[in-house]
Chain A
């Protein structure tokens, strides 16, 4: 049985704060044709749960690790991913250095750098380290879904 919360439809019946109802961009909007895999690197457990949850809801096979060192070891062991979501601030090895090391190992997959907020300098540094895109937390469908569609489309065109 589904849990007790009012459904998304109930929510749209009410609207939020008097705003008119509108179609939200949702993880239900994507149906992947190919098998995609992702790694989430985030030191905050529940943030990682949320990020992994969103990816799985999109149909992506997802793993998570809570520090940069573990991410580097996983890639070094031969694990391959279509997408890596990586927090800028990580314990043990920070997000910038982790990204550099992952790229130095020849990993060419899409990498999305996340953070609570990005200063221009932080954002530039993260891009220079090797991420392809930046996203402020929380990782939203508006950002994830186009990336996943692009990755899915790359497989379909092979």
Chain B
């Protein structure tokens, strides 16, 4: 059990991200890639995810402004978003993107719009929580651990 209060807080925050379903196993795999030679790997990957997500959300918003909906295009954008979200372990965002694609396949425009609004909320919440998490990680400072064996 961690004695340092900041590190203890960090552990609790991290557990909560998994327990509440925001993150899945993939995030743990990313953490395993982080070591002394790559000390900020997870945060770098997540920052690039934010950039990619911003682009895709904008594309989706623009596509959803055009009627009738081009479901193939919407599906293609969301396919990319699903792949990105899976790659960092963004569990709830991934689930919403899967649901959105099902609405696209059935040509349900209202379903797509509702789902997209929910997806944006989940994404915003995840981003806020991860930003707080990384900020606390920086405050907690580096941890003495053995290097990951090569």
Residues of A whose CB lies within 8 Å of any CB of B are 1-8, 10-11, 13-14, 16-18, 24, 26-28, 44-47, 49-50, 53-54, 57, 59, 87, 89, 115-117, 136-138, 140-141
Q: List 16 A-B contacts (CB under 8 A).
A: A3-B137, A3-B142, A4-B141, A5-B10, A5-B14, A7-B143, A14-B11, A16-B25, A27-B33, A28-B32, A44-B80, A46-B88, A47-B83, A89-B79, A137-B87, A138-B89
* Alpha-carbon separation in the docked complex, A26 to B25 (Å): 11
Q: Is B150 located at the chain interface by the 8 A CB criterion?
A: yes
State whether B144 touches A45 (Cβ < 8 A).
no
From A11, A45, A59, A117, give the contact of B79 (CB < 8 A). Answer: A117
Q: Which residues of A contact B11 (CB under 8 A)?
A: 6, 10, 14
Interface string of B1-38 (1 = CB under 8 A from A): 11000010011001100110100011011111111101
Given A1-B144, A141-B29: A46 and B35 within 8 A (CB)? no
State whether B34 touches A47 (Cβ < 8 A).
no
Given A46-B48, A138-B86: A6 and B40 within 8 A (CB)? no
From A4, A8, A116, A138, give the contact of B10 (CB < 8 A). Answer: A4
From B19, B29, B35, give the contact of A138 (CB < 8 A). Answer: B29
State whether B48 touches A2 (Cβ < 8 A).
no
State whether B83 touches A5 (Cβ < 8 A).
no
Given A14-B15, A26-B32, A45-B52: A4 and B137 within 8 A (CB)? yes
From B14, B38, B84, B89, give the contact of A44 (CB < 8 A). Answer: B84
Q: Which residues of B contact A141 (CB under 8 A)?
A: 29
Q: Is B41 located at the chain interface by the 8 A CB criterion?
A: yes
* Alpha-carbon separation in the docked complex, A43 to B14 (Å): 30
Q: Which residues of A contact B41 (CB under 8 A)?
A: 53
Given A44-B83, A116-B80: A5 and B15 within 8 A (CB)? no
Q: Which residues of A contact B33 (CB under 8 A)?
A: 27, 50, 53-54, 57
* Alpha-carbon separation in the docked complex, A117 to B49 (Å): 18
* Alpha-carbon separation in the docked complex, A121 to B15 (Å): 39
Q: Is B54 located at the chain interface by the 8 A CB criterion?
A: no
State whether B21 touches A17 (Cβ < 8 A).
yes
State whether B149 touches A2 (Cβ < 8 A).
no
Measured CB to CB, the closest approach of chain B to A101, in angstroms, equals 23
* Alpha-carbon separation in the docked complex, A86 to B55 (Å): 22
* Alpha-carbon separation in the docked complex, A49 to B33 (Å): 11
Q: Is B145 located at the chain interface by the 8 A CB criterion?
A: yes
* Alpha-carbon separation in the docked complex, A10 to B13 (Å): 13
Q: Is B126 located at the chain interface by the 8 A CB criterion?
A: no
State whether A46 touches B87 (Cβ < 8 A).
yes
Q: Which residues of A contact B26 (CB under 8 A)?
A: 138, 140
Extra contacts, 8 of them, besides A47-B84, A137-B83, A140-B29 (Cβ < 8 A), are A2-B36, A2-B39, A2-B145, A7-B143, A10-B2, A16-B15, A45-B48, A140-B26
Measured CB to CB, the closest approach of chain A to B102, in angstroms, equals 11
